[in-house]
Amino acid sequence: MTTSTPPPRDTASLVARLGDGVAAYDLELLARRQLSPSMVAVTFSGSLQALDPSPGNDLMIDIPDETGMPFRRRYTVRSFDHHARTVELWIHTASGGPGSRWALDAPIGSHVEAIGPRGKVVLDELADWHLFAGDLSFLPAAYAMGEAIDPPGQAIFLFEIDDEADALTPSLDEMVGVTVGFIERGTRAHNDPTGLLRGFESLELPDDLGHYYLGGELKVVNALKTAIRERGVDDALIDAKPYWRQGVANLPHGEPDKS
């Protein structure tokens, strides 16, 4: 029986494998803002003149860990100021894992390595309207893409939250139609798709060309994708990205274990 060898995870190998436009950056933590009970914004500076992220792209952060075991986590570029050479990430911290603890506790002035930009899910510029659905781990990417919609487009956001104080809203062009819906999870498990499925079923979607973007817990994302397919939507119009998996730690490179 043969066993496959995992690809190397050192910085040089990752940059080479991720392709053109990807680089490694040394980032210094400048500021932290608590946006809601479950979401924190962290702002970094660095020699970022070569960084050119598309809305929805992320950075792979080398998280310092007290155990000494190296691992990386991926966080969406919420905003980027090329002139000031600063980048802001919104990080969902409810999991309480090492990435969350780092986002909440890393000292101002500390440094981390970031690799990027990366990510294949980007805004479909041919779509007349866009539906973004999932949990708060997907909200930063959804809002970054939604705020990039050119008028007169339309954005529909559907998110499940644990706390009504987590109902953060986006800032879109006033000429873009916006619908934002939040579903309170209540006692449902985080991998229970019932709430979002009911919310999706209640939506009256436009008749013209739309694109669907899904992100969050693996089981929930898969259930939403199935429900959309059952409406006759072609896979080319669905971008589904599991960010995590209930009860299973993400792999060292940041992806959830899908086995």
The domains of the chain, with CATH numbers, are: 11-118 (2.40.30.10), 129-244 (3.40.50.80)
Instruction: Find the helix or strand (DSSP H, E) in which 12 lies.
Output: helix 11-18
Reading the block at residue 180, the tokens are 């934002």
So what's the pLDDT on residue 9? 67
CA distance 156 to 133: 8
Positions in the chain short of pLDDT 70: 1-9, 66-70, 247-259
CA distance 81 to 48: 9
DSSP 8-state secondary structure symbol assigned to residue 59: E
The CA-CA-CA angle for residues 222, 90, 36, to 5°, reads 95
So what's the pLDDT on residue 1? 44
So what's the pLDDT on residue 66? 67
Could you tell me how far CA 253 lies from the centroid of its own chain? 15
Alpha-carbon Rg for the chain in angstroms: 18
Residues facing residue 182 across a β-bridge: 159
List C-alpha distances in Å: 160 to 211, 216, 234.
20, 10, 25
Whose tokens are 């809002």? That residue is 143
Ramachandran class of 190: left when φ > 0, alpha when ψ lies in -120 to 50, beta otherwise:
alpha
So what's the pLDDT on residue 259? 64
CA nearest neighbour of 180 among 211, 210, 203, 158: 158
CA nearest neighbour of 38 among 183, 220, 163: 163
Helices of type H across 98-252 = 98-105, 139-146, 194-202, 218-229
